[in-house]
Each structure stands twice: as structure tokens, then as C-alpha cells.
Amino acid sequence: MSPAFPLHGSPVRHCQLYVREIVPYRIAHSWQRSLVAERRQNPNLEDVLILLEHPPIYTLGQGARSDFLKFDPAQSELEVIRIERGGEVTYHCPGQLVGYPILNLNYHQKDLHWYLRQLEEVLIQVLAAYGLKGERLAGLTGVWVDGRKVGAIGIKVSRWITMHGFSLNVCPDMEGFESIIPCGIADKPIGSLEQFIPGIELARVRQQVILAFAEVFGLQIVAEKVD
């Protein structure tokens, strides 16, 4: 899939990059909502990409089935929350790189299928940089390596402004995935890059994600905020 560039020959859009370490999910969620609200009010604001990790937590998409949890949420030591993204249940934890693009698709393409495929392409390009072949599976969203799902995608788009995004299992503790049916797919295992490349470093993968994201979406990364 070729990179996407702004329509009508307009200048390359800028994308503000925010890199954080471990951020509680609810704080990151509130931050996203604030950025989206600002862009609804002022559509001329630049795009944003947030890259971070979360403490252990389970999240369910807007219409996700609770029976994909293998435990009683009321008895869980970890928080379980339902949010407005698409998709089923997923697990976040340190070692998993999470990306939240806040893009105004009016400046890209107003096509949700296109947007999902572009997010997959970002992850596929990252995997290729490590010599791994990332694959799509017909009828499913995400990216697989050797039959193991390493990249998950769940989005919310309102007035063509995006939130939520993707996660890439770099070197997480995989135990948390055993308590759910991830993404509602019972017959395909979850994997991590560390299983294929022992010792892989999340910081280096993050840099590959930044490069691939800029190329695929035709964006210029203008700054990096590191706490």
C-alpha cells in the first residue's frame, strides 16, 4: 500500500508528537478527548500522535461482549472499563506500545476502511524493519506474524476526527491476555515481538513507529515532547 499524502496538492501537514512513558488509561483517555474537542472547535489545528504505555488494564469496545472476559470484573484486581472505541476486549500493560493518532481525516481521506488499513500498514512497515513479515487476515482488523496477533486496532471517529488507535505487543507480560478472548478471536493466539526477537527494545520500536507513521500518512513530525 502506498503512503497517503494530503489531497489537492496541499502542503504536507504537520503532526505534533507526544512521547510518554507509563500513563494511566483514564488520564490518556481524557487527554485524547480534550485534543479531539479542540480540533472540532478549530479544524485547522495540526494532527497529533501520542505514543505511550499503560499500567495493566482491560478495556472493552462500545459493543464488546462481556463473555469474552474469563473472569468476573467485580472480582478483578485489575480495572475493567468500557469505552467508545470499536472492537472487543483487549489488554494493556507495560511493554505494549500504544499509539493514539488524533487526525483530521478531512485532510487525508474521509474513509474509515482506508484509515484502518493505513494503521495496519504502519505496523507492517515497523515489523518489516525488523525482518518480520506482518500479515493481514481477511475480514479481521490487526496485524499477525506467523499466525500470532501482535498488533491490535480500535478507533473512534467523530466529525472525521480520530481517537483511540493501535497497540503493538513489543515485550509485554503476556499472562494478562490469558484471562480474556482478545479481540473476540478465540482460535488465534496473541504474540509479541519479543517472541521473535529476544531482547528487542521498546524505545527503538517506538522510533520505527514514528518513521512509519509519518511515511504512511504523509505527515511531517514537527516536535517531540518527552517527559
Nearest residue to 176 (alpha-carbon basis) of 54, 27, 22: 54
The shares of helix, strand and coil residues in the chain, as percent rounded to the nearest 5, are 35, 30, 35
DSSP string, 51-76: EEE--SEEEE-TT--GGGBSS-GGG-
Distances (CA, A) of 15 to 1, 47, 104, 151: 21, 5, 11, 22
CA 89 to chain centre: 14
Q: Is 147 helix (H, G, I), strand (E, B) or coil?
A: coil
Please, which residues have CB within 8 angstroms of residue 218's CB and are 6 or more apart in sequence?
Answer: 3, 4, 5, 6, 12, 13, 108
Rounded CA separation 143/179 (Å) = 21
Nearest residue to 52 (alpha-carbon basis) of 214, 212, 203: 203
Please, which residues have CB within 8 angstroms of residue 211's CB and are 6 or more apart in sequence?
Answer: none
Torsion of CA 133, 123, 135, 81, to 10 degrees: 130
Residue 93 annotated to the active site:
no
Choosing from 15, 93, 171, 183, which is the catalytic residue?
Answer: 183
Active site positions, annotated? 183
